Structure 1
Amino acid sequence: MKAMRIHAFGDAPCLDEVEAPRPAPGRTIVEMHAATVGHIDRTVWEGRFLHHPPMPYIPGVEAAGVVRSSGRFAIGERVWLRGCGLGIRSDGTWSELIGAPDEAIGRLPDAVSMALGSAFFSPCTSAWVALHEVARVQVGERVLVTGATGAVGSVTVQLALAMGLRVHAVVRDAAQAARLPVGADAVLAEHMATSDTDLAVDALIDTVGGALLPAMLRSVAPGGRAVLVGYTAGQAVSLDLPELLQRDVVLLPLNMLRREAAGRAAVPQLLERLSDGRLCLEVTRFPLHEAAAALAWITQRGHRGRAVLAPSA
């Protein structure tokens, strides 16, 4: 079978012929129909993650497909895959056939496409856990969301609106503002960076990190919470500690590896919302052999949604 493999950190993925996974107790073999390319895959690929599989390895922490062999799932059943070290401690999902622990697999409703089934887990559960488990937002509170048209940010905005929160969505320009759902108040990032604001929100959900984070923190009311979700705009930031102490804002990092159980618990209702259209997530498809292009695409400023590989696209 064919799989994309990494032979050295930072090297372009290679389409290799590899041995197919073999049936084993407690493991399911899935024919991959879609596999997501995300920032965690880039971090592992660059050698900056705390863990990585032995070289050469098959990347990919998420996928969707059809069961080909299993002691738990029916043959032909549609499923999604995520967790149990896939693409982090062991070979991942960028492969025509995936061998995975049964615990990494969930059933995928017919109404959810394979591409969406592959892409939904990370942004949807991250947004859900950030709001409910980490920020612990309450009905009527005000929330500021950065990267509001990105994958995690757009889902966060949708979920926050559905909860009855007042949502301030940080966007780069008028074109991005026009893509926001009804009910979200657009805030230009440039204005946030150059002007003092009086938003005084109860919670900040920061999905991008980088140099704008200090300015975003100034928009949080004293005693408010700031959930740090992502770092697409920069991995390092400088904070004025005396100012932060005076503002009395709690910084809360979101670690979805540690909070995966909470994310999985939310999956049924997230899939239900995706099935009936109450929740939307954009995907861009790439052929499996163009994994390098997908890794580059997710770093482009202003890209929308998630990148998904398919055996043929």
Structure 2
Amino acid sequence: MKAIRMPGFGAAPVLEELPDPQPRPGRTIVRMAAATVGHIDRTVWSGAFLQHPPLPYIPGVEAAGTVVASERHAPGQRVWVRGSGLGTTEDGTWCELIDAPDEALGLLPDGLDMALGAAFFSPCTSAWVALHEIAKLQAGERVLVTGATGAVGSMTVQLAREAGAIVLGRMEEAQQQPVDLLVDTVGGPVLEAALPCVAPGGRAVLVGYTAGNTLPLNIAHFLQRDVALLPLNMFRREAAGRAAVPALLARLADGRLTLEVKRFALGEAARALEWITQRGHRGRAVLVP
């Protein structure tokens, strides 16, 4: 099979020919149709993630495809693949044949584009958990979303509107009339500038840090504003995210939710890793065989 391997942290990805994985108990072999390239992949690749697979390794934490061999899943079944250490503690999804733990698979509805099946989990479940599990969003609340053109931001906007919230995509509007909830997907100076837009007693859910991972905090001002800072940790809230998956996939399948994807050939992994860092890029990157 063809696979992308990282020979070292920060090193250029290499397209190689590797032996096909063989069936074994507790594992499912999936023929990859699309594999996501995300910021977590960049973090692992940089060596900055808390865990990492032994070098060299196959990156990728998410994918979609069809079952080839499994004791639990029927051959030919359309599935999405994520978690259970893929791409973080063991080889991941950037390969033609994925060797995945059985529990990493979920069923993919017929008719849903495989690229969406690979890309949906992180942005859709992050947005859902941020709004409904952490922020406890109520209809009629005013919500400011930073990074609203990105994958998570766009999904947050769509789900918040579906829930009856008044969603603002521009900070200038929130500066005129403070919001009840800030969902920040970019961090850094953007988060610093957005926090004063939250009304006293409001909440701010911290989702991402692509613009920077530090926040200068004037404690006296922070206490006076009385805003709750609520971090989103999807590793800890994985179960809540997975519980929401069937409803989210149904919305994607019938068009109630939309998610942009940009396709790259498997050998273009380096270009995909660069593309997701570009300011203003829309949607998610996926590798296709």
TM-score, normalization by structure 1 = 0.90
Matches of 2:272 and 2:114, distance apart in 1 = 17
TM-superposed deviation, 1:101? 0.8
Match of 1:276 in 2: 254
Are 1:123 and 2:101 matched, yes or no? no
Q: Establish whether residue 235 from structure 1 lines up as the match of residue 213 from structure 2.
A: yes
3-state DSSP of counterpart to 2:223: helix
Give the counterpart letter for 2:193 in structure 1. Answer: A
Matching residue of 1:305: 283
The equivalent residue for 1:7 is 7
- The letter for the 2-side match of 1:99 is D
Measured in 2, the distance between the counterparts of 1:214 and 1:13 equals 35
Q: How does 1:33-72 map to 2 (within 5 A)?
A: 33-72=33-72
Deviation readout 1:129-187 (Å, 9 max, x if unpaired): 00001111111111110011110000000000000001011xxxxxxxxxxxxxxxxx2
Which residue identity lines up with residue 270 of structure 1 in the other structure?
L
CA deviations 1:230-284 (Å, max 9, x no partner) are: 1111222322221111111111111111111000000000000000000000000
**Partners of 2:253 and 2:191 in 1: CA distance:** 34
Shift of 1:290: 0.5
- CA–CA distance in 2 between the matches of 1:54 and 1:252? 33
Give, in whole Å, the separation in 2 of the partners of 1:199 and 1:94: 46
* 1:181 counterpart residue number: none
Supply the AA of the counterpart residue of 2:242.
R
Q: Which stretches in structure 1 are left out of the alignment for 5+ residues?
A: 170-186
* Paired positions, count: 289
Question: Is 1:206 matched with 2:184?
Answer: yes
Code of the residue aligned with 1:252 in structure 2: it is L
**1:1-313 map, 5 Å:** 1-169=1-169, 187=170, 191=172, 197-311=175-289
Question: How far is 1:111 from its partner?
Answer: 2.1
Q: Give the structure-2-normalised TM-score.
A: 0.98
Identical counterparts, % of pairs: 70
The structural deviation recorded for 1:81 is 0.3
| Displacement after TM superposition at 1:215 (Å) | 1.7
Question: Aligned partners of 1:129 and 1:94: how far apart in 2?
Answer: 27
One-letter amino acid matched to 1:113: D
Q: How far apart are the structure 2 equivalents of 1:5 and 1:91?
A: 9
Question: Structure 1: how far apart are the matches of 2:265 and 2:98?
Answer: 17
Structure 2 distance, partners of 1:242, 1:60, is: 43
